[in-house]
Every structure is written in C-alpha cells, then in structure tokens.
Amino acid sequence: MERGNIVYAKTHPEFVTITCLDWKPVLADDRFKDIVISSLSFLNKANRVIIYAFVIMQNHMHLIWQILGDHSRANVQRDFLRFTSQQILKILRNENSPLQGELLVGAKDRRYQIWERNSLVISLWSEKVMWQKIDYIHLNPSKRDGVNVRRSISIPVLDFILMGRGDGDFSFILMGEDGWQA
C-alpha cells in the first residue's frame, strides 16, 4: 500500500520509537507506564495490532507491532498517542503537577503535548532485522548511561521483556521453519 512517498505494508511488523516531548522524563512515573501498557493491551485485545515486543524508558518507548485487518497505522498510532496523552494529562491536572507546565505548547491544534510528532517507524522486512530490533529492545533498559537499570525498573513490563512472561494480554513472536508466527 502506498501513502504519499511512504511504502506501508501491513504484512510486516514495524519497529516504532515514540519519544516524549523534548525528551522530558514523562514516563518516569510508573502510573504513566501503566497507562501505556493498558493501551497497548487494549489495541492487542481489540485485534488492531499484534504486539511482539516493547520497552518503556523514562522519556521514550520502543515497540514492535503489526497492524491488523482494515486498520491503518496512522489511525492506530493516532488513537494510541491521543488516548495515552489524555490519560497522562488528566493525572497531571488533578495533581497540579509542575510537569504539566513543561508540556504546555499552545499550538493551534493543542494546548499541551506529551509526544513528539513523527515517531520513527521502520518496517521489518526480514527475520534478521526483526531479531536485531528485538535484541535492541531487550538490551535498551540496561544500556542507559552505561548502568544496569534492570533492577531499578519496577513495572511489570520488565517481565515481558526479560523473562518472556505475561498474563495473556499480548501475543509473543514464535519462530518456526515457516517464519514469523503470532
């Protein structure tokens, strides 16, 4: 499928990097990580995406997903970013958090902004590249500032990444002779 100058193939997973505005540590609060995880879980349960891997850091997240059915990446990503922004801003407003002021942008289409525009999206056309990105996601939390932060991340997502455990909310990739299988 062609959209503008971008070739978009729903038959392949995508590596996505979503960054907080100006690299602010918005996701340092575990409640905000939970919002992201719940939203990804909803998208997965609603059969809009398959989530293969993800990691949430203080100021950005990486995920590998595959858009399903008649859904478009643009719509799924828009809904995900909008919902998570609204939920995070609701908490910041209720608590009168100074972080809310740091996210004030006063743009024509929004007063506050959580996420940078134009997230990085890379189509994963080969098994080799898929595994490189999965390895990157697995190692990302331990590379920050050269410090092993695996023990300092107190959210359940770490179990998904390091142990491959989950509660059934997410599909995990299986490798077989026939290639990727969800």
The pLDDT-based confidence of 9 (bands split at 50, 70, 90) is low
Q: What is the pTM of this model?
A: 0.77
Q: What range does the domain containing 176 cover?
A: 2-181
The pLDDT-based confidence of 169 (bands split at 50, 70, 90) is low
What pLDDT does 172 receive?
A: 46
What pLDDT does 141 receive?
A: 65
Nearest of 158, 17, 20 to residue 89 by alpha carbon:
20
Please give the average per-residue pLDDT across 43-54, as a whole number.
89
Please give the average per-residue pLDDT across 26-55, as a whole number.
91
CATH number at 81 reads 3.30.70.1290
On the question of pLDDT at 86 being above 90, the answer is yes
Please give the average per-residue pLDDT across 118-137, as a whole number.
89
DSSP for 100-168, written as a single string:
HHHTEEEETTEEE--B-SS-EEEE--SHHHHHHHHHHHHHHHHHGGGS--GGG--STHHIIIII----S
Between 56 and 144, name the one with better pLDDT.
Answer: 56
The total domain count for the chain is: 1
What pLDDT does 84 receive?
A: 98
What pLDDT does 79 receive?
A: 97
**Range scoring the smallest mean pLDDT among 31-40, 63-72, 88-97, 152-161:** 152-161
The mean predicted confidence, pLDDT, of the chain is 79
